[in-house]
Amino acid sequence: MDKSKRPPIYVVKNKRKNNESSYIPTYLTAKETRFAKAFHQSLTNYEPTPLVTLPALARELGVGQVLVKDESKRFGLNAFKVLGASYAMARFLCEKLGKSTEEMTFEALCSQEMRDRIGEVTFVTATDGNHGRAVAWAAKALRQHAVVYLPKGSAQQRVAAIREAGAQAHVIDGNYDEAVRLSEQMAKERGWQVVQDTAWEGYTTIPTWIMQGYTTMAAEAMEQLSALIDSKQPTHLFLQAGVGSMAAAVLGHFVATSANKNVTTVIIEPHSANCMVLSAEENDGRPHAATGELGTIMAGLACGEPNPLAWEILQEHADFFVSCADYVAANGMRVLAAPTGDDPSIVSGESGAVGVGLLAALMSKQIYHRQREQLGLNENSIVLCFSTEGDTDRDIYRRIIWEGVCREAEDMTR
Ligand SMILES: Cc1ncc(COP(=O)(O)O)c(C=O)c1O
């Protein structure tokens, strides 16, 4: 669609969804999730993040239930990403040892005996987001090393957080793609191991391990949800996407484990980085890139190219792809920060709050009545959202919550 005519919320139905299919790739079977979860459980300080119910918000919006998985509480790291990095790095070390993950706990991997056998490993990644901090934290936990390359202009606070987590962090004089190339080149020259959270031709093993790691979040959510509600599963899954690894891992886990597949899955992106929406519109089965300025407040979702492995799963099982203006996410942050009635408050960052922001917009504004119906949202809906980060950029968080920036009237990203 012509960008200038794009509405603030743009919905594309997935024509490739296969209602009969329960296909998921072998790397996302329930068995693989059990390994990932057991590994995470063996990490010091592991606790499932809370699944928060917001009954007053649900009443106000006219849906049955709103449930939010609060990833700001993940290992004190303020985002879900460490689930992927830690598991992928542990699997890499297991392979080096010639052991399977089933035989390995975190404690064993960090033991002196194993370290003597593995030797020193340096993990390298390129990122301007939460993944860098996750790699840094996991390397330290596994008593190994990490180097993170950040593109020019990366927020000082994020660079400092990576260094605090024990890694070397270098801001380069180039963009994200140049940082990726540099990390690959350094890996080749120095024998380091690249840990990127997306796949490309010839680089798929680590990204599949990262996706397996993310399924721990999905498994926790499904267990918590079945203890909370009679139907034991949501009617709607709202999943935000950057490269799509997180959304595909959660949806893949759901398809692999749920008896009743009757859930409507909505994949959400910022307008400026809407590679999934574009791929769904092209409808040729292939992933398509969003080009040009990827500027959005949703830094974690500012990805131009889908992970091709994730796209395979999303095009088979997702129902809708939605892109939205930045103020939708900012409103979601405000809704979660200043709750209705006795609902608890949730600190949710720009990439974390877009699901709730979308739900609030669709349910509270008459102009969206058609989209609301299209998505089948009504008083019986049980909507599961993932607040994938807390206030990972405190300056932006405060400006949005305290000063009220990024409101509908002033938002230029629509
Ligand atoms: C907070 C947050 N939410 C969601 C995502 C999206 O994950 P993916 O790129 O796997 O789609 C990211 C990615 O970095 C993120 O940092």
Direct distance between the N- and C-terminal alpha carbons of the chain, in angstroms, rounded to an integer: 13
Q: Taking the complete model, does pTM exceed 0.85, yes or no?
A: yes
CA distance 187 to 189: 6
How many CB atoms sit inside 10 A of residue 66's CB? 29
Whether 326 and 406 have beta carbons less than 8 Å apart is answered as yes
Q: pLDDT at position 62, please? A: 98
Residues 6+ apart with CB under 8 A from 400: 297, 330, 333, 334, 350, 406
302 C-beta closer than 6 A to ligand 1:
no
User: Atom 2 of ligand 1 has which residue's CA nearest to it?
Assistant: 300
Low-confidence ranges of the chain (pLDDT < 50): none
pLDDT score of 325: 96
326 is catalytic: no
Task: Please tell me the predicted confidence (pLDDT) of residue 4.
Answer: 60
Backbone angles phi, psi at 102, to 5 degrees: -60, -35
Q: Which of 34, 3, 2 minimizes the C-alpha distance to 271?
A: 3
Task: Give the percent of the chain with pLDDT over 70.
Answer: 98
- Cα torsion 32, 33, 34, 36 to 10°: value is 90
Q: Which atom of ligand 1 is nearest to the CA of 244?
A: 11
Catalytic one among 37, 69, 70, 81? 81
Looking at every residue in the chain, the average pLDDT score rounds to 93
Active-site residue flag, 411 = no
* Phi-psi group of 231: left, alpha or beta (phi > 0 → left; psi -120 to 50 → alpha; rest → beta): alpha
Instruction: Kindly list the structural domains of the chain, giving each domain's residue range(s) and its CATH number in brackets, ordered by start.
Output: 3-80+206-410 (3.40.50.1100), 82-196 (3.40.50.1100)
**Residue whose CA is at the smallest distance from ligand 1 atom 5:** 300
Starting at the earlier edge strand, list the strands of the sheet with 168-171.
168-171, 145-150, 122-126, 193-194
**Which ligand 1 atom is the nearest neighbour of the CA of 245?**
10
**294 in Cβ contact with 332 (< 8 Å):** no
Predicted local distance difference test score (pLDDT) of residue 414: 64
**Bridge partner list, 27:** none
Looking at residue 3, what is its pLDDT? 63
